[in-house]
């Protein structure tokens, strides 16, 4: 099983020593739950994409400082690539996304992403699951680490909401057996989120919100989310 991580950005240089690149974080997060998987990488933010969506058994899209609606050539190309992967008829190719990846998948499938008028969601956050979410994840609520202002504001075609809250109603989406995405960050460590908040507490994030987030952050075990992503890709080895 060959899963390609589509890198939509790279952490700031002074944060790289904490958890590595976004692709490193994805591998560290998912490898224990996917022992049979081999991960490769494509720097989509540099314009690098596989020659064909059929080159890999599945795709993962990382977070990014960019917005999914930015008018930038590599984002257009990545969105088209993801749309092709999620709609091709020859063979189902699972696609997973986190934060920017979650948003890009929504845009690729006809949804809309925008900056939240209520501001940032930062630090430890609770999301209540829907009936579909409880069936998939087995939990009434998820405690996760978040760091975003953009979010999905119109549901894409074929998406089933899995979890959300008043600030971010569509924080997790499923696309049948072909896609799974979350707005929050199951791949982030506590140390990385703390450093990220401190780095952006000089005005990007309101100081009082940053202070509250710093006091409340701790790393929750999002095992049910990890297993849901692993299950999405595991079907490749079963069906192939």
| Crossing angle of the two packed helices 73-87 and 100-108, in degrees rounded to 10 | 70
Q: Does residue 102 carry a catalytic annotation?
A: no
Cα–Cα distance, 126 to 87 (Å, whole number) = 32
Q: Does residue 99 carry a catalytic annotation?
A: yes
**Residues 99, 102, 107, 168: which is the catalytic one?**
99
**Residues 56, 102, 185, 234: which is the catalytic one?**
185
What's the distance, Cα to Cα, between the start and end of the chain in Å?
9
Q: Does residue 107 carry a catalytic annotation?
A: no
- In angstroms, the Cα distances linking 21 to 9, 26, 27, 101 are 9, 9, 10, 15
**Residues 7, 168, 187, 234: which is the catalytic one?**
187
List, by residue number, the catalytic residues. 99, 185, 187
């Amino acid at each position: 099983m060959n899963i390609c991580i589509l890198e939509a950005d790279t952490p700031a240089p002074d944060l790289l020593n904490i958890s590595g690149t976004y692709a490193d974080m994805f591998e560290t997060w998912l490898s224990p739950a996917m022992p049979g998987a081999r991960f490769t990488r494509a720097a989509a933010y540099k314009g690098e994409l596989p020659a064909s969506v059929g080159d890999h058994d599945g795709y993962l899209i990382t977070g990014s400082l960019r917005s999914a609606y930015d008018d930038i050539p590599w984002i257009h190309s990545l969105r088209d690539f993801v749309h092709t992967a999620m709609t091709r008829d020859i063979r189902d190719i699972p696609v997973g996304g986190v934060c920017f990846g979650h948003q890009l998948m929504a845009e690729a499938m006809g949804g809309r992403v925008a900056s939240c008028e209520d501001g940032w969601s930062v630090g430890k956050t609770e999301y209540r699951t829907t009936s579909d979410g409880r069936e998939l994840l087995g939990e009434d609520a998820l405690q996760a680490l978040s760091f975003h202002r953009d979010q999905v504001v119109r549901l894409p075609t074929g998406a089933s909401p899995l979890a959300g809250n008043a600030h971010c109603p569509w924080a997790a989406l499923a696309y049948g057996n072909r896609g799974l995405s979350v707005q929050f960050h199951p791949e982030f460590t506590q140390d990385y989120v703390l450093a990220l908040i401190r780095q952006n507490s000089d005005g990007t994030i309101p100081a009082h919100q940053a202070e509250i987030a710093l006091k409340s952050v701790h790393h929750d075990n999002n095992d049910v989310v990890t297993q849901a992503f692993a299950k999405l890709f595991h079907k490749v080895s079963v069906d192939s």
